[in-house]
Structure 1
Amino acid sequence: MRAMMSELWGALAHQIDGILEVHRAGLRSRGGYRNPALNPPSTEHQVIDVRAADGARLRVHAYGPQDAQPVVLIHGWTCCLEYWNPQINAFAGEYRVIAFDLRGHGESEFGRPDQLDCHLLADDLCAVLDTVLPPGQRAVVVGHSLGAMTVQAWAGKYPQRVLDQAAAVVLANTGPYALVDETTVVPFFNRPLPLLNRKVPLPMWLGRGGLSARIVFPPVAPVRWVFARQIMSLDADPEIIDFGLNIVRSCRSWVRSEFGRLLAEMDLGDAARHLMVPTTVVAGTADDMTPAVHAEQIAQWLRESGNLARFVLLPTGHLGTVEAIDGFNEILGEVLAAVRAPAEAVG
């Protein structure tokens, strides 16, 4: 009976996804925010044709001067390249800002992968970098959440490419493994309980089930409150909460499910040790999805290898790059300026 109900719900969710496809595109491209940083970039963009190894088409947009220092932005789970509007709007005037949809997300094709994991996403990142970077050019590579996990997997699988194609790296709101063991997004689990004087672990079956569920986000007040409380922060600006929820709602439920299963099982080990370029790690003090303990571990590995440029805690939930736009943009601006300065001196 349970299998039958699951199959019926899956079929219904698939039908809903098809009906809402145009609506989802509208959520991605929505404008009219009072905060201009959230609105679609006014800068013209170039559409770059990129194909993954299995033939899947990846949507890649490039903004800003073609001869400027490139920065590549990789979004997280259930998001899309429009998630980076605040950074594109801030930096496309001076830098070559390149953003792309992870496979299955936004307008990128899911393809027919033999196995969906972060190593496949690392190969996709290779395809993007090989297309957008001329030989010898290195980009500042920025990943948020699953995007930052993609960067870690890329470094572990292709360490020489890090040296050849990355000038610096920024990892935001991410982790390397044990996401279910550390997440505090489910109330009462993985957090100290005074009466018990210990943490109650989140059962793997519950964590895996929650991450892989075909969740929909109807535009009703209770859903918005739960999203703000558990994914972002209730202290976030209401308009930014709306922006974040619109981005996440634009993801198809079956894609959310497939990648949620990936996250539940993901184990990148200490792949971040292979980021042998200056790397900045950013975490949110109120991030329940990927608590700061993950970032602290990554920062420790980088500290040991001598490649930790900076470890920063921002007062945000999981969508830290939009919850603290000014703070994150200041961090990214410093990284970009540090990379550009030696190049200008040589020039």
Structure 2
Amino acid sequence: MSVVPSPRGKGARRWAEAGALVGAGAVAAGWEAARRRDLRRIERDPAHALLADVPRGERLDLFSRDGTRLTAELFGPADAPPLVLVHGWTCARRFWTCQLHALADHYRIVTYDLRGHGDSDAPADGDFSTDALAEDLEAVLEAALPSGQRALLAGHSLGAMSIVAWAGRFPREVERRAAGVALLNTGIGDLIDESLIFKLPSGMRRAKAVAGGVFLSASGPLPPASPISLRAVQYVALSPSASPAQVAFCQEMVLQCRRDVRAGFGRTLSRLDLADALSNLTVPALVLGGMRDRLTPPPHLERMAAALPHLSECVELPRSGHMSPIEDPGSVDAALERLAVTAGLVPAAAAA
């Protein structure tokens, strides 16, 4: 026996369907309004014009020991003191835009894309280890610097870990190649345990380790740019006081990073332990961190400062998150220049 819906039942369903459509339309309209508000705030931000003006230098393609092609870029006077800048996880060499604007007139700046990031190739064998990062940095120094020239090496996050890993793998090269090192917003181990991304009670350490491992090594695609992703990037990587253009600049880099590269390095980060290599950095060293950094919070800064053989300065930025070279470029630039003086590298302006 069949049941014939009453006209009243059909009407109720139609009203429900119409209501659902109206609700969906309201959500879409609200989403679009939020997106447009974000765009207006980004465009009005004084930092927007500077971050949008990415300097262009002399491109240099080179190969690491395992055959992975890396892309580097050189800026500034060829006879100026060399400054090598190494970006972090899910970023690219344009991460250093603020430093290039501020320092390229006085330093010979070398930037490069980590393997799998930006214009550099991903490794054919999937090697995203710290040893591979060390060999990449060694290849860049050999290709970009004249023989015997010493540089200031500055790295952010995974870039700083690359410098520490390089010192562990090539200890005899440290004083031959480096006049000083700057370790910015980074750590040498216990990244998940110290992270403030997942705030769980102390008794749930195991659950935090599992959640952190999943977060770092996730290989799924990230959602496209949206009001939600913008706020998610700010929560994870920047402080609440970061400007709209600074957050948007970081969001663009993160979303452009290949998912397999993000996951490959995420697995490396989840089991990172570079404590033994830190003692090989026997040149003047700067450590700098943001007091509102959730990814590598202040305990990492304190631990590195206590362990470095030749600590030059420990800088704490009270309002900065994990992206200090973007969030507080003036303080980072000034700290790098102080380290250059300590390391005996005279800027071109001073030499003149």
> Which category of TM-score, normalised to the shorter sequence, fits these structures?
0.7 to 0.9
Q: Which runs of 5+ in 1 are unaligned?
A: 1-30
The equivalent position to 2:264 in structure 1, one of 254, 258, 267, is 258
Aligned residue identity for 1:309? S
Aligned residue identity for 1:86? C
Q: Is this contact kept in 2: 1:75–1:145, CA < 8 A?
A: yes
By how many angstroms is 1:341 displaced?
A: 3.5
Deviation string, structure 1 residues 118-155 (Cα, Å, up to 9, x no partner): 11100110000011111110010000000001111111
The equivalent position to 1:164 in structure 2, one of 170, 173, 176, is 176
Deviation string, structure 1 residues 229-262 (Cα, Å, up to 9, x no partner): 2221111111111111112112112211111111
TM-score w.r.t. the length of structure 2 is 0.81
* Bigger Cα displacement from structure 2, 159-168 vs 215-224: 215-224
Aligned residue identity for 2:290? G
The equivalent position to 1:109 in structure 2, one of 121, 128, 133, is 121
* C-alpha separation in 1, matches of 2:235 and 2:60: 37
**Is 1:119 matched with 2:131?**
yes
**Is 1:210 matched with 2:223?**
no
Partner of 1:62: 74
* C-alpha separation in 1, matches of 2:212 and 2:329: 30
Partner of 1:330: 334
The equivalent position to 2:302 in structure 1, one of 291, 296, 300, is 296
* C-alpha separation in 2, matches of 1:243 and 1:345: 32
**SS at 2:273's partner residue?**
coil
By how many angstroms is 1:179 displaced?
A: 0.8
* C-alpha separation in 2, matches of 1:337 and 1:222: 43
Aligned residue identity for 2:267? R
Alignment size in residue pairs: 305
Q: Is this contact kept in 2: 1:81–1:100, CA < 8 A?
A: yes
Aligned residue identity for 1:252? R
* Bigger Cα displacement from structure 2, 163-172 vs 107-116: 107-116
By how many angstroms is 1:346 displaced?
A: 11
Distance 1:122 1:142, change over 3 A: same
Q: Is this contact kept in 2: 1:176–1:270, CA < 8 A?
A: no
Partner of 2:289: 283
Partner of 1:145: 157
* C-alpha separation in 2, matches of 1:147 and 1:217: 25
* C-alpha separation in 1, matches of 2:53 and 2:119: 16
Distance 1:341 1:205, change over 3 A: same
Aligned residue identity for 1:260? G
Deviation string, structure 1 residues 42-86 (Cα, Å, up to 9, x no partner): 4x5111121011111101000111111110000000000000111
* C-alpha separation in 2, matches of 1:105 and 1:249: 11
Partner of 1:84: 96
Q: Which runs of 5+ in 2 are unaligned?
A: 1-42
Structure 1 or 2: more helix by fraction? 2
**SS at 2:152's partner residue?**
strand
Aligned residue identity for 2:80? A
Aligned residue identity for 2:179? A
* C-alpha separation in 2, matches of 1:122 and 1:67: 26
* C-alpha separation in 1, matches of 2:325 and 2:336: 10
Partner of 1:183: 195
Q: Is this contact kept in 2: 1:287–1:316, CA < 8 A?
A: yes
Partner of 2:143: 131
Q: Is this contact kept in 2: 1:279–1:308, CA < 8 A?
A: yes
The equivalent position to 2:315 in structure 1, one of 312, 316, 338, is 312
* C-alpha separation in 2, matches of 1:93 and 1:217: 39
* C-alpha separation in 2, matches of 1:40 and 1:199: 48
Q: Is this contact kept in 2: 1:270–1:301, CA < 8 A?
A: no
Deviation string, structure 1 residues 62-120 (Cα, Å, up to 9, x no partner): 01111111100000000000001111111111111110000001110012247431111
Q: Which has the larger radius of gyration?
A: 2
By how many angstroms is 1:345 displaced?
A: 10
Partner of 2:245: 239
**SS at 1:256's partner residue?**
helix
By how many angstroms is 1:342 displaced?
A: 10
**Is 1:228 matched with 2:234?**
yes
Give the superposed CA RMSD.
Answer: 2.3
* C-alpha separation in 2, matches of 1:127 and 1:156: 15
**SS at 1:340's partner residue?**
coil
Distance 1:48 1:32, change over 3 A: farther
TM-score w.r.t. the length of structure 1 is 0.82
* C-alpha separation in 2, matches of 1:33 and 1:127: 38
